[in-house]
Amino acid sequence: MSIPMPEMRALLRKRLRFHLCVAFTLSLIAAAAYKYGVSDPRKQAYADYYKHYDAAKEFSAMREAGVFQSARPSGE
């Protein structure tokens, strides 16, 4: 009973084909997970925020708080 010889011919090609397929599949899964798990909820949160955002009201609140040097609060 002898030990079989290891397969040396085209071993790199076979292993490389397998690892490229696995890497490509995992990268597609990671990209889809990022898109649906991070990017889309972030876009929706920004859309919801700016749907009811009033810039004039925000400016007047900051002016009354004294944030701006060029726009004095209305009490002064």
Domain regions of the chain by residue span: 39-67
Q: What is the pLDDT of residues 49-58, one digit of tens each?
A: 999 999 999 9
Q: How confident is the model at residue 48 (pLDDT cuts 50, 70, 90)?
A: very high
Average pLDDT over residues 16-45: 98
How many other CB atoms are found less than 10 A from the CB of residue 63? 15
DSSP designation for 76: -
What are the DSSP calls for 1-59, one per residue?
Answer: --PPPP--TTHHHHHHHHHHHHHHHHHHHHHHHHIIIIIHHHHHHHHHHHHS--HHHHH
Q: Kindly report the pTM of this predicted structure.
A: 0.64
pLDDT score of 66 more than 90: no
